Structure 1
């Protein structure tokens, strides 16, 4: 009697356990299949190689970044050049770049010419702020005077742009015969001097 009772109780319990295990296995299979599908879909969205992430980026981006870096460096390049030569123009390095850009001229011209004409403003007529020999005609010792360095730099940039660049004369070698005519008879000394200091500002 006891064995019969045990069989009667054990059989339904076993069946319930089997059913429960079957349901758990079925759910596990579904979850696993879902994960596999998700992995497959995710993989299909990934690039075939590591470079495809960047394929859509414009190649000019690197050039643009480099250009910005160079432009940002120009005031510092000029400032260090002016400081090296103990020039009173040092605080105006950013302005030299600014006006050069606005007049579309080489940013190195103003400091290079200033070096050749007046040792960067250290050898000029008193209170003239004319470090570039501007309007100093042959045989004269003094030319134009300005109210301050800022005005002088702006006038010089416009002068170089309108007098030379507008005529297609953009290099010291092309400017020399007009800017400093006597230098042509001394082996283009003005052009060579200006070129020398422009090269230092690269």
Structure 2
């Protein structure tokens, strides 16, 4: 039914529109024929000094208005990392940008410190109260090292990974595990590698 109504409207309006257009062109032609020759403008003078009036066809101006701008590259890593941590409801999620910047400062892969936090504390959800230690950093028989804030923890752990591990040849999770948690039978490195792989696919 709707199709019939639309078809009816089309066949009603199309002839009216066509007739109106033809009538307008005919009227315009008669109007031009009645003008005295002195008022007609030659093509050359029209180009030199355009006059206002009816112009059915006109060329486009040489300079078209437009919007110019500059694309500014943005580092997507903090947003990707934040989205990853939000997926796990991590209290570290608001610190994604800090993690990336600190990792850059110490020439680390920002995903490494995150993967270690995920292996050690389920991304900071299981840590000793008020320690802000998501990385199991400095845990020993006498207790756990605590930080004043997540910011401080990110800084100290990133610097420590660079100076005490990477700079000393412990580059892969398996190599880091030998010093970081020497009693692990391999599950620590397996977990860190899995989380690194998960973040790569993010």
* TM-score normalised by structure 1 residue count: 0.61
In structure 2, the residue matched to 1:126 is: 129
2:191 equivalent to 1:193: yes
2:81 equivalent to 1:83: no
In structure 2, the residue matched to 1:144 is: 145
* Structure 1: gaps of 5 or more residues: 1-64
In structure 1, the residue matched to 2:181 is: 180
**For residues 111 and 172 of structure 2, what CA distance do their matches in structure 1 show?**
11
**What is the CA distance between 1:164 and its match in structure 2?**
0.7
**For residues 125 and 102 of structure 2, what CA distance do their matches in structure 1 show?**
22
**For residues 78 and 167 of structure 1, what CA distance do their matches in structure 2 show?**
27
**For residues 73 and 173 of structure 1, what CA distance do their matches in structure 2 show?**
28
* Structure 2: gaps of 5 or more residues: 1-70
**What is the CA distance between 1:101 and its match in structure 2?**
0.6
SS of residue paired to 1:86: coil
**For residues 74 and 168 of structure 1, what CA distance do their matches in structure 2 show?**
26
2:97 equivalent to 1:97: no
**What is the CA distance between 1:169 and its match in structure 2?**
1.6
2:109 to 106, 122, 132: 106
In structure 2, the residue matched to 1:167 is: 168
**What is the CA distance between 1:168 and its match in structure 2?**
2.1
List, as ranges, runs of 4+ consecutive aligned residues in structure 1 with deviation greater than 4 Å: none
**For residues 200 and 89 of structure 1, what CA distance do their matches in structure 2 show?**
17
More helix by share: 1
Which structure has the bigger radius of gyration? 1
1:54-113 per-residue CA deviation (whole Å, 9 max, x = no partner) reads xxxxxxxxxxx9xx66xx121112101110110000100001000001001111111100
**For residues 89 and 81 of structure 2, what CA distance do their matches in structure 1 show?**
12
